[in-house]
Structure 1
Amino acid sequence: MTTETKLAGVPFAADLARFGDCPAVSAHGRSLSYRELARQVEDMVRAFGPGRRLIALEAGNTLPALVSYLAALSSGNPLLILPAGDSAAAALVAAYDPDVVVSASDGEAVLDVRRQQTRHDLHPELALLLSTSGSTGSPKLVRLSADGIQANAAAIAEYLQLRPSDTAATTLPLSYCYGMSVVNSHLLAGASLALTDLSVVDPCFWDLVRREHVTSFAAVPYTFDLLDRVGFKDMEVPSLRYITQAGGRLAPDRVRAYAELGRRQGWDLFVMYGQTEATARMAYLPPDQALERPEAIGVPIPGGSFRLEPVPGLDASELVYSGPNVMLGYAEQPADLGLGRVVTELRTGDLARRGPDGLYEIVGRRSRFVKIVGLRVDLGQVERMLADLGVTAAAAGSDDAVVAAVEGDHDVALLAKTLAQGLGLPRAAVDLYPVEAIPRLGNGKPDYPAVAALACGGEADDGGPAGVVDAGSDDVRRIFAEVLEVDEVAGTDSFVSLGGDSLSYVAASVRLERALGYLPGGWHLMPVCELSPSPHVVPAAVAPPGSAGPPGSTGPSGIAGPSGTASGTASGNWVRRARRRLLAPMETGIVLRVVAIIAIVSTHIGFFHWQGTAHVLMAVAGYNFARFQLSGERTERFRRHLRSVARIVVPSVAVIALAFAVTDKYALHNVFLLNSLVGPAGWSDYSRFWFVEVLVHILLGLALLLAVPAVDRAVRRWPWAFGVALVLVDLPLLFGLVESRYPGQGPVLWLFGLGWAAAASRTLWQRSAVTVLAVLAAPASFDNPYRSATILAGCLILLWLPTLRVPRGLHRIMALLASASLYIYVTHWLVYPLFDSVDLFERADKGLAVLASLACGVLYWAGAARAMGAAERWIKRRRSLSRASVEPAAM
């Protein structure tokens, strides 16, 4: 057993208070100074208690996890990092039997103290235990020393020239050594952290960047694919000073393109090279070299050095690194925790060369070679050859064949023949498998074992190779493809980037929750590759808010409440569990759509009277527009806007045209959705479709407005302010300062803007400001106080309650009604008059008319959605054929 005496910890973590009142970290609107952070760290050290023990931490990007991490480093307690919400966490806990397990619940760190004294032999230098890239779930860990952590953080801070005015957004998990290095280097330099687990595709992330004046964020290669999708090149991020890239090779053309973009916009691109075994970083490419040498990894970090060692049998040399940040060695079992340093230099396994300019370049991977029919094949070279052909691929293999996953729609037979000729191999020794997306690990790197498994996986039911991706990602792709009527879904696609809107959101969300077991917050903006089932899922209602990992995930087995008491065992919990089984959260916008459409139909029929819900739907429309229509590149977004408008116009006009043909209650201006502009003023039968008309006018106006580059940039930078501006523009009409053509319904742009501002609200003061606007405006909307109260209540519920608990048994029927709400609205005017002659009691007659109107609308939605999807696919195929016929002629 180790001695009870505390050993010196990592210096930067033990001396946080030296930066005093400088800002250290912000999370969820809360900001801590270095002095306050140091105080919380000291409190956690005291909670750990005396003695040196092995602590395991489920390390999400949360303040409790950060405090626990720093407390372990500062106090000298060896820390085992568990990936948050990952099935590997339970395996690591079982394998290494930590003395204390720390998890997060309700925004607090929860300690499961298993024993007061350690049962492990812990070496005095041991500070940190991390999983290596690709070994998650394996008991093999990297042993890092306190000196190594400090030295690497100092070296990174030096070459990035970090200063107290810098702020980094945590775009990578704390459990990943790259993400951890961002935390370490910034806190060592007195800079600050903006803690978040938001993806770069989420508009909320860019709100955070601007609000916190973020100067940098870290990126892995596929992050740049996501940046392309959200139109990053057109964004204005004035605070940005640099972007770092590591976690795998970024193609030289992408390095050059982003270096040029940074030069134009005033920020630097730092390409970096590292491994977990070197604590994080070993080399960096000076930004001024990125344009001339984008293929290079650069120079060693301060305090480190490289040498090239020839590899027998290869005309290449292995890159060997030396420096104070080299690991102590590996641990494969608890007994290894007592070992000292067994490694003095790091054989990287990468083949490299040094250019005359002193810059190092990786040319291959020593372990990424296979020998086929006597020929040595570099799998990295296979990927580069395919990349030269315009193909994204990941290559694995054995001494029998090269196996490669090829992303996208390509002629794999022709590619395989070309590749075999280029490699000098028999055609039978090259196996290419088409995949929708390269399978990747949680850190964004290719999952080569999954690629290798394609060779023995056979064909999947859908015609693709088995083993391409996990079942969860495959389910997500299928859901998106079916709901959005698209043929291909890539791993970097999101619901929004594929053209998802409020009409398809409900169906997708319900199916996604069934497939995943929970519904992640902001799922509509997450790439498919980040949406997969949690290995420890329970219904979202059961998971405590603020818990680490995806909503609904429990944590690794063995993590319990304070004093080792497992959560959920207290008396009386069975009542709460029973209630949670009966009630489950449903998104507020979906619930409001269901309540509103039932109230609208019932009021028009006279079954009961509840006015104002259509106006609530206008706020919901603004809320959804802000969520679904504001991301992506400008021209792509404009096409998506028009597509969404078409999905409203086509089914609506079809019904209105039928009503015009078979009744005498409508005019041609109804068919063309122009009654509010050229029809008679005031309320009449012509006004029945006012909601569709006004919504289409608003959406078309915004589509045109946002197509203007200057407006687009303003909305991206100040989305909340733009929503508020829409409210303010309409107030003169609302308060009668300007005459309105529509006194029967009044102006409604303010409601759309209010919903927009609600969706864009990120802070308490923003929500409070929107509340004040709603309270001031709603009473002026109608003379009827009950109608105005309905509008106000609906807006405030949408603003303050993201979900509402409803009986589980009603989820599917509510999802159906919400999806079909537009179709119910336009068809019920034709359906319920058919029941005027039914010889039943009046009340039953009206109730039957309500049910029939709902049912007919649902049926119309099912048929129209399928028809429009088929039409969109036909148009897309025609365009593809047209392009294919034009391209050869242009060659």
Structure 2
Amino acid sequence: MPTPATLLAPPTAAVPFAADLARHGDALALVHDDESLTYAELADRVGELAARLGTTRRLVAVTVRNDVASIVAYLAALAGGHPVVLAPADRPEALDPILATYRPDVVVHAGRSAGLAETRLDERHPGTAHDLHPDLALLLSTSGSTGSPKLVRLSQANLQANAEAIADSLGITPADRAVTTLPMHYCYGLSVIHSHLARGATLVLTTLSVVDPCFWDLVRRARGTSFAAVPYTFDLLDRVGFPDLDLPSLRYVTQAGGRLAPETVRRYAELGAACGWDLVVMYGQTEATARMGVLPPGLAAEHPGTIGVPVPGGAFRIEPVDGHDAGELVYAGPNVMLGYAESPADLALGRTVDELRTGDLARQRPDGLYEIVGRRSRFLKLVGLRVDLARVEEVLAELGLVERGLAAAATGTDERLVVAVERASQADPDDDALVSKVLAERLGLPRAAVVVHGVSALPRLASGKTDYAAVLALDAARRGPAGDTRPADALAQLPGSPTPAPVPATQPTDATAVVRRIYAEELEHPHVTDDDTFVGLEGDSLSYVATSVRLEQALGHLPADWHVTPIRDLVPRPATPASPLRRRLARLAAPIETGIVLRALAIVLIVGTHAKLFAWPGTAHVLIALAGYNFARFQLGGERLHRLRRQLRSLARIVVPSVAFIGAAYLLTDRYSLANVVLLNAVVGPETWSTTWQFWFVEVLVYLLVGLGALLATPWGDRVERRFPFGLPVAILGAGLLTRFEVVDPGVPHTAPVLWLFALGWALSRTTTTPRRLALSVVALVSVPGFFDDPRREAVVLAGLLLLAWVPTVRLPAVLHRPLGVLASASLYAYLVQWLVYPELVGIHPAVAVVASLVAGVAYWGLVTRVPALVRRRVLTRRTVTRRTLTRRTLTRSAGSRTVRSPAADAAPTDAAA
């Protein structure tokens, strides 16, 4: 225990970049969602929280995510001279070994948004229970993932020196704006924060993935100049078409966290040179405060397999290793750690190491550049995290996943962790899937990065030692043809496979596979991976309802932002099985999106009102607002031209079935005109109400989508929408209110203006704060009354708008979700067909007419959406069979009398109703 004198001693000097924030004044420090903080404002918040932590120097644990509150909490601890240990806020289990081993004096739980009122301090000891070395500033996990109690001890000088060295290497200035792509608790992500704060630059905080179109919208809107990437990031960049993205403010991309394939380095270096930004390859380890080597951007394309030279102030040397041509890379510099900690007693230690033995085998080339050629110790770098293979085997034993008397072996590559587990009985693929799932969660790794094989006995060398090469070879069967590392179910969907191939016996059949199948079927997309999102796969409101209902049935619950969440993050982690009572209650009242309920309810009320079963007018206008809401959610992501193509496809899925049905109705009856068929009755039709006005909803919606799509297709409109995602719909709302109050002629002569309702829904979709939601609610309360001169209709519209604004989900019996989803999906089609169905049956009974109209609408929806998909599959099947037949014939002819067998030869709802 520390002495009383220690308790009264003032804190040691704080880290300069944390203590001197105010010197940057009014420069912009942090941007997160709708919040921005200058350095002066950040300094005030840091000072307030530092005062709450007190002057007694204590061990502080902070749970962090990429948001303002986490930055404030972390900097407050550093500014107060308190040693800090970080843990991810989204993985509570990662904090447990820290609490158990190091017993921090206070745990800071940072809120999801800025504001000290949302930051909770869990005081565990009065004063401090530790003897803390004066130089100690930060404790980080050596692996970043395994939960090992072994931590790296970093000093104030380590943090400041490395921040300055990285800032010098990258030429960071106050004009730079780094967009966060890595978690704050990871040393590489943390060093991005350090280096930019040291130069008074701006941090744009986000947890969005690079596969999410919203991430690139944010980069453009915030004028981001850089982002950090690990090797896995570049796989994702390839997937989203990064070379085609328009990123005018991007200055450089840094890469660290593991070796990037030389061909990828060269390709991205050449891409950057052509587009005006630099690829900066870096090399580092947690023990050196993240980064210690940098490859000058001008050399990346020519020397892509090297790590460059030491960062300013550092030095490399090569120490010979017996039995190897290369030697171990050793680094010295002011950013080298004080040493390791494995118990609270180690927190009192000073410097125990002067240089860092990296464990990497390297050589220095004649041109002075250093090159990594292998590893001396048993570590992997997976998705930027260092994984201790010995620790993996210990985790398996701790979890009870290795039976008594048996063993496990862990090996792998920088792409995946491969584990062999001895089993007393025959290996069960389901057991392998369970072990890999639990192990991935314990290590904090993506599920797809962990492969487990149950074996009767571990492969051994003649010496009796584990044959790790043979363990690694077990993974070959799962890697697909020619080294293709995509999951087997993705390979089965490649062109040429007419039907999905069965999942191999060794392929895990977990919840992510179910979600991938749902996406593949509903979006008709052949290549779905765990990193894909609904929006990224070009899902829109036409496929939204059916997909969301199926997902809710499969997963039990969907977050509000599920449509932009990668599949791997969408699947909930295993939880303690619910009791029978809880399961019964969940079935009785399960959440479903309010928008889906509104769509289903609206079409029932529309048809029922027309058939005079009851009188609930106004719901069609609610659907106009809901169309604007979903227009923003599904039609505004991605590049301008790509977005335009998506909008045109979505528009076609409204126009084509509408024109087809109205054309048939025109030929079969005398109720409609050619203006109806071409959707122009609202412009040229009669002013008085007649049957030709029955399709006004479809016509007006098409006008809105065409007009706004044309506006956003212009470079000017595209820039304004990205720069002002909330301001633009508010401006359009203002213009729409001018037509609503008849200050301006709407230009569509024979219909009431509804632009303001569409824009109001759009603005609600872009609303992230309560004050904005309140302001839009006030607009609704002011603008709806008096619009129809019908209090009941106005009350219905107003209720729908307020539900959309304030109630994201409603709880209804789970048995109703599927029918509601079907009705919502078929709402446009039911709106169309009702006009030919209910007049013929209303004489029998209005209820019969309503049910028949809805059933006919569902049938037309199935005809329009399902039949084309079946036809495409049949065409694909015939083409594939023909291609295989021709291949066999060609191979047979080329072989003469011998037959050569080649392995290759056997190989919604609409925006209108949204």
TM-score interval (norm. to shorter)? 0.7 to 0.9
Question: Which residue of structure 1 lines up, in the alignment, with residue 516 of structure 2?
Answer: 477
Contact 2:73/2:110 (8 A) holds in 1: no
How many Å separate the matches in 2 of 1:887 and 1:95?
Answer: 64
1:588–1:331 Cα change, 3 Å = same
* CA-CA distance at 1:319 after TM superposition: 2.4
* CA-CA distance at 1:59 after TM superposition: 0.7
Q: Deviations over 1:460-480 (max 9, x none)?
A: 9951464769x3433432332
Q: Deviations over 1:410-440 (max 9, x none)?
A: 962x659xxxxxxxxxxxxxxx8844689xx
How does 1:678-693 map onto structure 2 within 5 Å? 683-693=689-699
How does 1:496-515 map onto structure 2 within 5 Å? 496-513=535-552, 515=554
Match of residue 821, structure 1, among 821, 827, 845? 827
Q: Which moved more, 1:862-871 or 1:111-120?
A: 862-871
Match of residue 343, structure 1, among 344, 353, 357? 353
Question: Which residue of structure 2 lines up, in the alignment, with residue 866 of structure 1?
Answer: 866
Give the aligned residue type for 2:691. D
Residues 1:400 and 2:470 aligned together: yes
1:821–1:48 Cα change, 3 Å = same
Contact 1:309/1:318 (8 A) holds in 2: yes
TM-score w.r.t. structure 1 length?
A: 0.76
Contact 2:152/2:286 (8 A) holds in 1: yes
* CA-CA distance at 1:489 after TM superposition: 0.5
How many Å separate the matches in 1 of 2:349 and 2:689?
Answer: 84
Contact 2:330/2:358 (8 A) holds in 1: yes
How many Å separate the matches in 2 of 1:611 and 1:808?
Answer: 26
* CA-CA distance at 1:696 after TM superposition: 4.4
Residues 1:35 and 2:35 aligned together: no
Give the aligned residue type for 1:687. W
Question: Which residue of structure 1 lines up, in the alignment, with residue 253 of structure 2?
Answer: 243
Question: Which residue of structure 2 lines up, in the alignment, with residue 318 of structure 1?
Answer: 328
Question: Which residue of structure 1 lines up, in the alignment, with residue 567 of structure 2?
Answer: 528
Match of residue 13, structure 2, among 8, 13, 32? 8
* CA-CA distance at 1:867 after TM superposition: 2.8
Contact 1:307/1:320 (8 A) holds in 2: yes
Contact 2:331/2:356 (8 A) holds in 1: yes
Contact 1:365/1:378 (8 A) holds in 2: no
Q: Deviations over 1:430-466 (max 9, x none)?
A: xx8844689xxxxxxxxxxxxxxxxxxxxx9951464
Q: Deviations over 1:382-429 (max 9, x none)?
A: 99xxxxxxxx99999923153487899x962x659xxxxxxxxxxxxx
Give the aligned residue type for 1:42. G
Contact 1:170/1:195 (8 A) holds in 2: yes
Match of residue 836, structure 1, among 836, 842, 855? 842
Question: Which residue of structure 1 lines up, in the alignment, with residue 66 of structure 2?
Answer: 61
Q: Which moved more, 1:280-289 or 1:346-355?
A: 346-355
Q: Which moved more, 1:329-338 or 1:498-507?
A: 329-338
Q: Deviations over 1:174-210 (max 9, x none)?
A: 1111111111112222223233323344455455445
How does 1:272-287 map onto structure 2 within 5 Å? 272-287=282-297
Question: Secondary structure of the equivalent of 2:110?
Answer: strand
**CA-atom RMSD in angstroms:** 4.6
Q: Deviations over 1:119-173 (max 9, x none)?
A: 4554444332223346333334333233222221121122222223333232322
Contact 2:220/2:722 (8 A) holds in 1: no
1:110–1:763 Cα change, 3 Å = closer
How many Å separate the matches in 2 of 1:582 and 1:382?
Answer: 42
How many Å separate the matches in 1 of 2:808 and 2:746?
Answer: 38
Contact 1:585/1:805 (8 A) holds in 2: yes
1:355–1:677 Cα change, 3 Å = farther
Question: Which residue of structure 1 lines up, in the alignment, with residue 421 of structure 2?
Answer: none
Question: Which residue of structure 1 lines up, in the alignment, with residue 400 of structure 2?
Answer: none
How many Å separate the matches in 2 of 1:723 and 1:406?
Answer: 53
Q: Deviations over 1:643-662 (max 9, x none)?
A: 43454355545655665576
Question: Which residue of structure 1 lines up, in the alignment, with residue 181 of structure 2?
Answer: 171
Residues 1:154 and 2:160 aligned together: no
How does 1:791-830 map onto structure 2 within 5 Å? 791=797, 794-795=800-801, 798=804, 800-801=805-806, 803-807=808-812, 811-830=817-836
How many Å separate the matches in 2 of 1:221 and 1:682?
Answer: 65
Contact 1:234/1:713 (8 A) holds in 2: no
Question: Which residue of structure 2 lines up, in the alignment, with residue 623 of structure 1?
Answer: 629
TM-score w.r.t. structure 2 length?
A: 0.74
How many Å separate the matches in 1 of 2:577 and 2:164?
Answer: 42
* CA-CA distance at 1:276 after TM superposition: 1.8
Q: Which moved more, 1:256-265 or 1:764-773?
A: 764-773
How many Å separate the matches in 2 of 1:490 and 1:198?
Answer: 17
Question: Which residue of structure 1 lines up, in the alignment, with residue 305 of structure 2?
Answer: 295
Question: Secondary structure of the equivalent of 1:627?
Answer: helix
Question: Which residue of structure 1 lines up, in the alignment, with residue 53 of structure 2?
Answer: 48
How many Å separate the matches in 1 of 2:875 and 2:753?
Answer: 37
How many Å separate the matches in 2 of 1:608 and 1:738?
Answer: 34
1:382–1:731 Cα change, 3 Å = closer
* CA-CA distance at 1:113 after TM superposition: 1.6
1:883–1:119 Cα change, 3 Å = farther
Gaps of 5+ in 1: 371-376, 384-391, 417-431, 439-459, 540-577, 839-844
Contact 2:644/2:709 (8 A) holds in 1: yes
* CA-CA distance at 1:82 after TM superposition: 1.1
1:694–1:848 Cα change, 3 Å = same
Contact 1:405/1:434 (8 A) holds in 2: no
Contact 2:635/2:643 (8 A) holds in 1: yes
How many Å separate the matches in 2 of 1:882 and 1:753?
Answer: 51
How many Å separate the matches in 2 of 1:257 and 1:780?
Answer: 62
Give the aligned residue type for 2:503. G
1:636–1:367 Cα change, 3 Å = farther
* CA-CA distance at 1:301 after TM superposition: 0.9
Question: Which residue of structure 1 lines up, in the alignment, with residue 503 of structure 2?
Answer: 463
1:640–1:606 Cα change, 3 Å = same
Q: Which moved more, 1:649-658 or 1:355-364?
A: 649-658
Contact 2:489/2:501 (8 A) holds in 1: no
1:366–1:505 Cα change, 3 Å = farther
How many Å separate the matches in 2 of 1:609 and 1:847?
Answer: 13
How many Å separate the matches in 1 of 2:284 and 2:709?
Answer: 45
How many Å separate the matches in 1 of 2:772 and 2:311?
Answer: 44
Match of residue 131, structure 1, among 141, 164, 167? 141
Question: Secondary structure of the equivalent of 1:288?
Answer: helix
Contact 2:213/2:536 (8 A) holds in 1: no
1:297–1:406 Cα change, 3 Å = farther
* CA-CA distance at 1:272 after TM superposition: 1.8
Residues 1:600 and 2:606 aligned together: yes
How many Å separate the matches in 2 of 1:322 and 1:131?
Answer: 21
Q: Which moved more, 1:865-874 or 1:697-706?
A: 697-706
How many Å separate the matches in 1 of 2:608 and 2:520?
Answer: 35
Contact 2:412/2:472 (8 A) holds in 1: no
Give % identity: 54
How does 1:184-203 map onto structure 2 within 5 Å? 184-202=194-212
Question: Secondary structure of the equivalent of 2:615?
Answer: coil
How many Å separate the matches in 2 of 1:380 and 1:518?
Answer: 34
Residues 1:644 and 2:650 aligned together: yes
Question: Secondary structure of the equivalent of 1:505?
Answer: helix
1:881–1:768 Cα change, 3 Å = farther
1:74–1:406 Cα change, 3 Å = farther
1:240–1:536 Cα change, 3 Å = farther
Q: Which moved more, 1:669-678 or 1:752-761?
A: 669-678
